[in-house]
A and B are shown apart, each in its own frame.
Chain A
Amino acid sequence: MFKYILGRIGAMLLTLFLVMTLSFWIIRLMPMSIFENPEVSPEIQKKLEDRMHLHEPMAVQYFYFIEGIAVRGDFGTSVKIRPGLDVFEILSTRIPATVVLNAFSLILSIPLGILFGSWAALKRNKWADNIISFWIVICISVPSFVFASLLQYFLTFVWPLFPTLYNAQASNFGAQLYSMILPIIALSLNPIASIARYLRGELIETLSSDFMLLARTKGLTQGEATMKHAFRNSLVPIANTIIPMITGIMGGSLVIEKMFAVNGMGGLLIDSILAGDHFLTVALLIFYSAISLFTILVVDISYGIIDPRIRVGGRA
C-alpha cells in the first residue's frame, strides 16, 4: 500500500508538471495583451511588455517561468488582479471564505443527504419516498443560482430575516456565519439531493439482498440489520460522491459567491483569464489540478479503508 501511494504521488507530481507546462503554453498563446488599454500610451504598454519578456519567443518565456519556480520557488506575481502580489498570497487571502462557505455547506449536506436518502429507502414507494424523490429531482435539475435568487428575494427582501450579502467585516465569527446562511443553503441543496439519491438507490439494493435476509433470520431487528450491514455496504459507492465534495471545498462557486458578494475563490480564475493576468491564471490552474489529483488519490485510498476487501496494491 505504501509503495502504491508513493507511486501515485510520483505520478501526481509528473501530472502537475505537465499541467503547469500545458497551462503556460495555452494561456500565453491566447491572443491578448496584458496591458492593452486605450488610456495607457502604446509606448508604456510596450515597455511593460518588454519588462515581462513578453516579446521574447515562447520557449524563452517558458524558460524564465521554469527558472523562477526551480531556482526561487517563485510562481510569479500578479500583474492585473492584485499587481505586485505573489500569486499564492492572493490565493491564500481568497481561500478562507470559500472554505468556510463550502465546509458548512458540506456539514449540512452530508447528514441531511444521508437522512433523506435512508428515509426514502426505508419508506420505499410510500408518500415520504415520493416527496423526497420529487424534491431530489427539483434540487438536482434546477441550478443553484435559481434557489439563491429565490432565497435572496424571499428571505432578505420580502421577509428580511437574513442579510442580503455576506458580511466579512462582522464583529465576530457568529455574525459572519449568520450572513453566510443563505449562500450555505443555496450551495447545499444540490449536494443533499445528490447524496440522498445515491444512498436511496444503494440502500434499496442492499436491503433487498440475501445477506440482509440472513441478518434478519439471525434475529437482528430491521434497524440493527440496516445500521450494521446495509449502511456500510452502501457507503462504498457514496464515498465516490462525498470525498470529492470534501476535497473540492476550496474550489469555490462562481455564481453563488458573486450573488452574495462572498470574497472567495469563485470567479478568480475567470477574472484572471479575462484580465490577462497570466501568472495568476497558471497558478490557479496548478492549484485546481493539485486539488483534483489529491482528491483522486484520497478516493482510491479510502476504498481500502471503507471496504477491507478492496486493497489496491496490497498482497493477494
Chain B
Amino acid sequence: MKKLTSLFLALLLVLTCVQVMASAEGGAKVYRSYMGTDCPTLNAQNSVQTSLDTPTSYCGAFLYRAVPDEDGGNFHYVGDIAAELPVQVDAVTWNIPLRKEACWANGDPINADTVVYSFKMLLDPLLVNQMADFLADYNIKVLNAKAYNQQGTENTVAWEDVGVKKIDDYTVQIITDGEYTQTQVCSQFTNRATAVVYEPLYEAGMNEDRTMTTYGSTLDQYMCAGPYKFDSWVFDHAQTYVRNEKYWMPELYHYDTVEIRIIPEMNARVELWEQGMLDDLSPDANTIETYIDDPRMVEYSSLTIFHIDVNCANPANPLSSSVNYRRALYYAMNREVIAESIFGYQEPAGWYVNGQAGLLSESGLTYRESEYGKAVVDKVNSWGPAGYSPELAREYLAKAYEECNLPADTVVTLHMAFDESDTAWKATAEYLMEEFPVIFEGKLAITIDTYAGISTTEYKKTTDSWDLSPNDWTRGASRTYPYTCFYYYLESYGSHPNNYFDAEFEAQYAVCESVKDDYEAMLKETQKLEEIYIDKVIHIPMVQAVSYQMFSDRLVLPVTTYIPGFGWGTMFGDIAE
C-alpha cells in the first residue's frame, strides 16, 4: 500500500511539473482571448461570419483604421494603407493617397493596383461575394458598384464605370453617388470586407469559370499585411498571430503574440478565466449571476434589440390585420420583468433604434442619447414602464374586436413560434401564456409552436399560421445611420419578416435616406420614423441587449469606456509588466 501511495504521489509531482512548464510564457507580451466558433475562411470578401473580424483586423490591411485617441475617450481614423485621410476633389470624388512603404508580409508592395484589384474582386459579378454590399452600399454608396456587382453575365455595366479608379501607382480615387463626409468615407474602408487581397493567391485559387476562389481557405492560400501575421491556424481549435515585422506602424501595437482559442463551451471559458489563462471573458445569461458584482465587469448596449414580429396576414387569426390588435400586444408586454428576470440583466426597450446607433453625430452622442431619441423614450415611458400598460392593452383589444366585428366572448389563441433551443424566448412565451389571459381577461391566449434545425425565416416560409415570432435581426449600418434599423421592414426587402407593408412608413424611410448627408436632419427624421413604427406597431420591441465583459488585471486597455463602433480597442491594448 505504501508503494502504491508513493507511486501515486510521484505521478502527481511529475504532472504538476509538466503543467507548470507548459504554462511558462518566457516574458513575451501575450494576449490570450477566445472565440466561440472559428472562421470558415480567411477570405473576408465572402463570409458574413463575424468571427472573421478578429483575424482580419489583426492580419489584414485596409485603407483606414479606427484607432483610440490618446486620452482613451474616443477614437479617430488614421490611414492604414492610405497615407492620409481622403482628399475631397469635388462633391462626390475622393482621392486617397497610399503609403509607399505599405507591403505584404512577404515584402511584395501594396499599391493602387492592389486596392483596385481587391475592390474589383469584391464586386465581381461572377464571384458574387457575400460581402459585396459592404463596399457598394454601406456607409457610402460607391458609384455604379451595386449595378456592376448584380449584373451577372449581362455585361451592362463596365468596371470602368464603377467609382473605383487608379489615378497613379499610389493614388486611388473613389467616386460616390451622393455627398458624404470624410468620416463616412473613412468608416466605409475600415470594414473587413474592404481588406486588400493578395492577387497571386487569389488568382491561383480561382476555378475555371471564375465563379469561386479558394483564397483564404487555408493559411497557404492567404497573405497577411496587417500589424500581425499568422503563426498558426488549427481550424476549430486556435489561431496564433505574431508581429509582422514588415508592418509600417508597429508603434500602435504592443502585444508580441496574440493567442485566440476556439472554445465553444462556456464552462471551459470560465475555468480558463478562473485559472488566469484568458484575458477577457463575456459571461452569458447562465454565468452572469456569478460575476455581476465583480469589479472587473463592464457593460455596454449592443446593436441588438430583441423583438417580436407580428404576423399581419395569418388567415387563422381574425385580428391579424388590425393595428389596434398589435397596439394591444405592444402595451401588454411587461418588458422590465422579461428583460431583467428572464433575459437576465438586460434592459427593457419599448423602442427599436439600438443603443449604438448614430455614433457619427457631431455631438458624439448616439441617437438614443440625442434629444430625438430621448423624446421617443419619454413618450413610451409616459404610457407605463417601457410602454407596459395593461389598461391601454385592454382598451386597444376592445377596439380591435369592434374593428373586426368579433363577438366580445371570442377567445383568440395566438401561436408563438420560436427555435426550441432558445431558452430565453421559451421562458418569455411561458410567462406570456400566464400573463395574457389575465391582462386580456381571457380573450387572448398563447400557444407555443417550436421548430428546430431551420432559421426563423425558413420556418415562416413553411407556414402562415404563426402570430408571434421572436427575432433579433440587427443592421450593422445602423451604427452610422440609425434609420437603417428598419431596413428589413421595407417592402423592397426580400425576406420580409411580418407580412406588413405601410406606405407612410416607407415614405418616411425614403425621407431619412434623402437627408442622410445632413446628420442632424437625419436624426430628426429618424425620430419621426421611429414614432410611426411605434404607432403602427410594425413589430413589438422588447429588450435592449446588454453585453457584459471582464478583462484581466494584466490587460491595459487603451480606452476609458466602451466606444460604440470601436469597442474596447483590445487590439491596441498592452500587457502589464
Give the contacting residue for A31; candidates B133, B458, B476; CB below 8 A. B458
A160-B275 in contact given A84-B213, A260-B268 (Cβ < 8 Å): yes
A169-B238 in contact given A41-B133, A42-B494, A261-B263 (Cβ < 8 Å): yes
Q: Let me know if A47 and B150 touch, CB within 8 A.
A: yes
Instruction: Enumerate A1-45 residues with CB–CB distance to B below 8 Å.
Output: 30-33, 35-45
Q: Let me know if A44 and B261 touch, CB within 8 A.
A: no
Q: Let me know if B272 and A164 touch, CB within 8 A.
A: yes
Give the contacting residue for A36; candidates B41, B274, B458, B476; CB below 8 A. B458
- Asked whether any CB of chain A lies closer than 8 Å to the CB of B47, the reply is yes
B31 CB, min distance to chain A CBs, angstroms: 16
Residues of A within 8 A of B76 (CB): none
Q: Let me know if B495 and A162 touch, CB within 8 A.
A: no
A30-B453 in contact given A82-B217, A163-B19, A169-B238 (Cβ < 8 Å): yes
Q: Let me know if B40 and A81 touch, CB within 8 A.
A: yes
Interface residues of A, count at CB 8 A:
55
Residues of A within 8 A of B454 (CB): 30-32
- Asked whether any CB of chain A lies closer than 8 Å to the CB of B106, the reply is no
The residue in chain A whose Cβ has the minimal distance to the Cβ of B149 is A44
- Asked whether any CB of chain B lies closer than 8 Å to the CB of A83, the reply is yes
A135 CB, min distance to chain B CBs, angstroms: 18
Q: Let me know if B214 and A165 touch, CB within 8 A.
A: no
A259-B232 in contact given A38-B495, A42-B494, A162-B19 (Cβ < 8 Å): no
- Asked whether any CB of chain B lies closer than 8 Å to the CB of A232, the reply is no
Residues of B within 8 A of A40 (CB): 48, 130, 133
A261-B268 in contact given A81-B40, A84-B205 (Cβ < 8 Å): yes
Complex CA distance for A175 and B18, rounded to whole angstroms:
9
A90 CB, min distance to chain B CBs, angstroms: 9
Give the contacting residue for B495; candidates A36, A44, A153; CB below 8 A. A36
- Asked whether any CB of chain B lies closer than 8 Å to the CB of A80, the reply is yes
- Asked whether any CB of chain B lies closer than 8 Å to the CB of A310, the reply is no
Complex CA distance for A64 and B16, rounded to whole angstroms:
57
Which DSSP category, helix, strand, loop or mixed, fits chain A's interface?
loop
Q: Let me know if A169 and B267 touch, CB within 8 A.
A: no
Residues of A within 8 A of B473 (CB): 38
Which DSSP category, helix, strand, loop or mixed, fits chain B's interface?
loop
B236 CB, min distance to chain A CBs, angstroms: 4
Q: Let me know if B16 and A161 touch, CB within 8 A.
A: yes
Complex CA distance for A44 and B476, rounded to whole angstroms:
18
Residues of B within 8 A of A263 (CB): 234-237, 262
Q: Let me know if A152 and B41 touch, CB within 8 A.
A: no
Complex CA distance for A168 and B74, rounded to whole angstroms:
39
A219 CB, min distance to chain B CBs, angstroms: 36
Count of CB-CB pairs between chains A and B under 8 Å: 144
Q: Let me know if B41 and A84 touch, CB within 8 A.
A: yes
Residues of B within 8 A of A273 (CB): 453
- Asked whether any CB of chain A lies closer than 8 Å to the CB of B469, the reply is no
**A138-162 vs B, Cβ < 8 Å mask (1 yes, 0 no):** 0000000000010011001100111
- Asked whether any CB of chain B lies closer than 8 Å to the CB of A51, the reply is yes
Residues of A within 8 A of B267 (CB): 149, 152, 259
Residues of B within 8 A of A42 (CB): 493-495
Residues of B within 8 A of A169 (CB): 232, 234, 237-238, 240
A82-B40 in contact given A31-B454, A32-B454, A260-B268 (Cβ < 8 Å): yes
A199 CB, min distance to chain B CBs, angstroms: 25
- Asked whether any CB of chain B lies closer than 8 Å to the CB of A85, the reply is yes
B364 CB, min distance to chain A CBs, angstroms: 27
A259-B268 in contact given A84-B212, A161-B16, A168-B238 (Cβ < 8 Å): yes
The residue in chain A whose Cβ has the minimal distance to the Cβ of B38 is A263
Residues of A within 8 A of B40 (CB): 78, 80-83
Q: Let me know if B495 and A85 touch, CB within 8 A.
A: no
- Asked whether any CB of chain B lies closer than 8 Å to the CB of A178, the reply is yes
Residues of B within 8 A of A36 (CB): 455, 457-458, 495
Residues of A within 8 A of B551 (CB): none
Give the contacting residue for A44; candidates B12, B133, B262; CB below 8 A. B133
Q: Let me know if B22 and A175 touch, CB within 8 A.
A: yes
Which of A's residues lie within 8 Å of B, judged by CB? 30-33, 35-48, 51, 77-78, 80-85, 93-94, 149, 152-153, 156-157, 160-170, 175, 178, 258-263, 273-274
Beyond the given A38-B495, A94-B236, A163-B22, could you list 5 further A-B residue pairs with CB under 8 A, ordered by the A residue number? A31-B454, A36-B457, A39-B475, A82-B41, A84-B41
Task: Give 16 CB contacts A-B under 8 Å.
Answer: A30-B453, A31-B454, A38-B495, A48-B130, A83-B46, A83-B47, A152-B268, A160-B275, A163-B22, A166-B237, A168-B237, A169-B238, A178-B22, A258-B265, A259-B268, A263-B236
Which A-B residue pairs are the 8 nearest by beta carbons?
A: A42-B494, A263-B237, A263-B236, A84-B214, A32-B458, A161-B15, A32-B454, A47-B128
